[in-house]
């Protein structure tokens, strides 16, 4: 039997990758130059899948680190060095590490051969990170330029308020490394790379990543449902109507619809059944999220669920008892930073359509 062709929730490649021909060409062009790339999009839009699809074609060393998981400058240095050890030979690294200003403790797990790195806390931890970053430059060559990918780069401001300034002072001297900075909080990333007083002002090519065009996504979905149903037009259109072409949630819904149709291709409304299944699956998670949200933010989410008006309009904030425009703006900012709301093409929307459906269903009880 045919395997379910839809994959979500992790980096996708090969047949699972949804066509982004133009974006692939642009990312490849920047990474193949002497420049750096700044990629911005809401969470789960496929930034990582896009970048790693391009990188896989280049046959170059890659070091990738998600800054959401970093707790301090020392931790940043240790985790980055750990990934350097995964890419380059031990002996080659050792000759440079022994000249670090602060020598790390390096141990190898005998079970999986994974390297563990630890730096002792210091009054000034930045030299640790500077040495590791400079190590990457020293290990690189013109023919094998290293690609360093930092995901959720806006988190540098949470790690240390001075970190961006210190990073720029080191990175600006690197000639053999291409940096890729990814971020899901557009306003924070733009502040880092577009504010004139920011250390990283115009440090690289800034590229917003939007939704996959509907026609492209529809063709991709149609290929996946080919041979499973004779009602492809309605199925693909219905999925995209619900998901609004959000890459992650489109594939999640398509996966469940495919599973339903593979069991019974005569089911009356497989999309509605799949939506109900996914909402029920996440019911406890959504309830926990809802109970942790303050009253103003709940009103905003209810308004976005029930109305197509812009939340910054007077009619919207009066109808949903949100008080002054400043209250709405603060709530929008808070919800966007938390990832509950996204803004695309001047339109505010709840990021997760299944959470929106959960709110609708709960309000209708």
Mean pLDDT within 35-54:
91
Phi, psi of 347 (to 5 degrees): -115, 130
Q: Would you say 342 and 352 are in contact if contact means Cβ atoms under 8 Å apart?
A: no
Q: What is the dihedral of CA 116, 117, 120, 125, to 10 degrees?
A: -150
Of 208, 209, 191, the residue nearest 200 (C-alpha) = 191
Check whether 218 has a pLDDT greater than 60: yes
The residue count of the chain comes to: 365
pLDDT value of position 70: 96
Residue 263 CA to residue 122 CA, distance in Å, equals 60
Query: For the chain, which residues make up each domain, given as ranges?
Result: 20-208, 214-281, 284-364
How large a percentage of the chain has pLDDT more than 90?
70
Strands 115-118 and 146-151, bridge-based pairing: unpaired
CATH superfamily of 20-208: P-loop containing nucleotide triphosphate hydrolases (3.40.50.300)
Confidence grade of residue 111 (pLDDT, cut at 50, 70, 90) = confident
Confidence grade of residue 10 (pLDDT, cut at 50, 70, 90) = low
For the whole model, what pTM was predicted?
0.84
Q: Would you say 31 and 180 are in contact if contact means Cβ atoms under 8 Å apart?
A: yes
Check whether 16 has a pLDDT greater than 80: no
Confidence grade of residue 78 (pLDDT, cut at 50, 70, 90) = very high
CATH topology of domain 284-364: Arc Repressor Mutant, subunit A (1.10.10)
Confidence grade of residue 321 (pLDDT, cut at 50, 70, 90) = very high
């Amino acid at each position: 039997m045919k395997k379910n062709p839809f994959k979500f929730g992790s980096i996708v490649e090969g047949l699972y990758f949804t066509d982004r021909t133009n974006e692939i060409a642009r990312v490849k062009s920047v990474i193949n130059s002497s420049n750096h790339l700044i990629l911005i999009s809401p969470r789960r839009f496929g930034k990582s899948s896009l970048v790693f699809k391009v990188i896989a074609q280049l046959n170059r060393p890659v070091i990738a680190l998600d800054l959401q998981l970093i707790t301090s400058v020392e931790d940043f240095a240790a985790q980055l060095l750990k990934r350097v050890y995964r890419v380059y030979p031990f002996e080659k690294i050792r000759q440079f590490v022994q000249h670090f200003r602060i020598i790390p403790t390096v141990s190898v797990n005998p079970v999986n051969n994974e390297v563990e790195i630890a730096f002792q806390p210091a009054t000034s931890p930045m030299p640790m990170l500077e040495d590791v970053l400079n190590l990457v430059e020293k290990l690189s060559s013109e023919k094998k330029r290293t690609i360093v990918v930092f995901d959720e780069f806006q988190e540098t401001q949470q790690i240390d308020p001075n970190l961006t300034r210190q990073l720029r002072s080191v990175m600006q001297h690197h000639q053999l490394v291409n940096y890729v900075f990814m971020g899901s909080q557009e306003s924070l990333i733009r502040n880092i790379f577009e504010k004139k007083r920011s250390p990283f002002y115009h440090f690289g090519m800034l590229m917003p990543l939007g939704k996959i065009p509907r026609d492209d996504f529809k063709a991709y979905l149609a290929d996946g449902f080919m041979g499973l149903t004779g009602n492809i037009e309605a199925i693909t259109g219905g999925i995209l109507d619900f998901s609004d072409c959000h890459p992650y949630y489109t594939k999640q819904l398509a996966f469940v619809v495919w599973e339903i149709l593979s069991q019974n291709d005569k089911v009356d409304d497989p999309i509605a059944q799949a939506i109900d299944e996914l909402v029920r699956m996440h019911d406890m998670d959504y309830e926990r999220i809802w109970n942790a949200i303050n009253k103003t933010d709940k009103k905003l989410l209810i308004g976005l669920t029930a109305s197509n008006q812009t939340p910054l309009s007077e009619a919207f904030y009066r109808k949903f008892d949100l008080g002054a425009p400043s209250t709405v703006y603060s709530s929008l900012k808070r919800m966007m930073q938390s990832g509950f709301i996204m803004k695309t093409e001047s339109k505010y929307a709840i990021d997760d359509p299944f959470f929106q459906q959960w709110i609708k269903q709960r309000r209708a009880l």
